[in-house]
Amino acid sequence: MLLEEGKIQSAIIIDNEFHGHLVAEELTPPGRRQQHTFRDFVVDLGVVDAQTREEWLKYGVDFRFQKPSNWLNIFFNFLPWILFIGLWLFILRQMQGGPKGAFSFGKSKAKLISEDKAKITFKDVAGAEEAKQELQEIIEFLKDPRKFQRLGGRIPKGVLLVGPPGTGKTHMARAVAGEADVPFFLMSGSDFVEMFVGVGASRVRDLFEQGKNHAPCIIFIDEIDAVGRHRGAGIGGGHDEREQTLNQLLVEMDGFESKEGLILIAATNRPDVLDPALLRPGRFDRQVVVDRPDVRGREGILKVHTRNTPLSDDVNLQVLARGTPGLAGADLANLVNEAALLASRNNRDRVTMNDFEDAKDKVMMGAERRSLVISDKEKRLTSYHEIGHALVAKLIPESDPLHKVTIIPRGRALGVTHTLPIDERHTYPQSYCEAVLAYALGGRIAEKLVFGEITTGGQQDYRMATNLARQMVCDWGMSPKLGPIAYGQQNDEIFLGREMAQRRDHSDRVAEMIDEEIKNFVLKAESRAEQLLSDNIDKVHILAKALLEFETLDDVQLNQLLEGKTLEKPVEPAKQPEESKEDREDQTSEQHTSEPEKQPSDD
Residues acting as catalytic residues? 386
**CB distance 26 to 41 below 8 Å:** no
Closest to 183 measured CA to CA, from 262, 112, 119, 264: 112
How crowded is residue 221: how many other Cβ atoms within 10 Å of its Cβ? 27
Cα–Cα separations (whole angstroms), residue 500 to 321, 492, 495, 503? 34, 6, 11, 10
Q: Which amino acid is at 81?
A: W
**CA dist., res. 430 & res. 476, Å (int):** 9
Closest to 132 measured CA to CA, from 111, 155, 159: 159
**CA dist., res. 262 & res. 282, Å (int):** 14
Element holding 286 (H helix, E strand):
strand 284-289
Starting at the earlier edge strand, list the strands of the sheet with 184-188: 111-113, 184-188, 217-222, 262-268, 158-162, 284-289
Convert 49-65 into a string of H (helix), E (strand) and C (coil).
CHHHHHHHHHCCCEEEE
Starting at the earlier edge strand, list the strands of the sheet with 8-14: 37-44, 17-27, 8-14, 62-66
Q: Which amino acid is at 387?
A: I
**CA dist., res. 315 & res. 192, Å (int):** 46
**CB distance 441 to 465 below 8 Å:** yes
Q: What angle do CA 193, 195, 196 make, to 5 degrees?
A: 90
Cα–Cα separations (whole angstroms), residue 526 to 317, 451, 486, 561, 598? 39, 17, 25, 25, 22
Give the sign of the dihedral formed by CA 19, CA 20, CA 26, CA 30.
negative
**CA dist., res. 385 & res. 547, Å (int):** 11
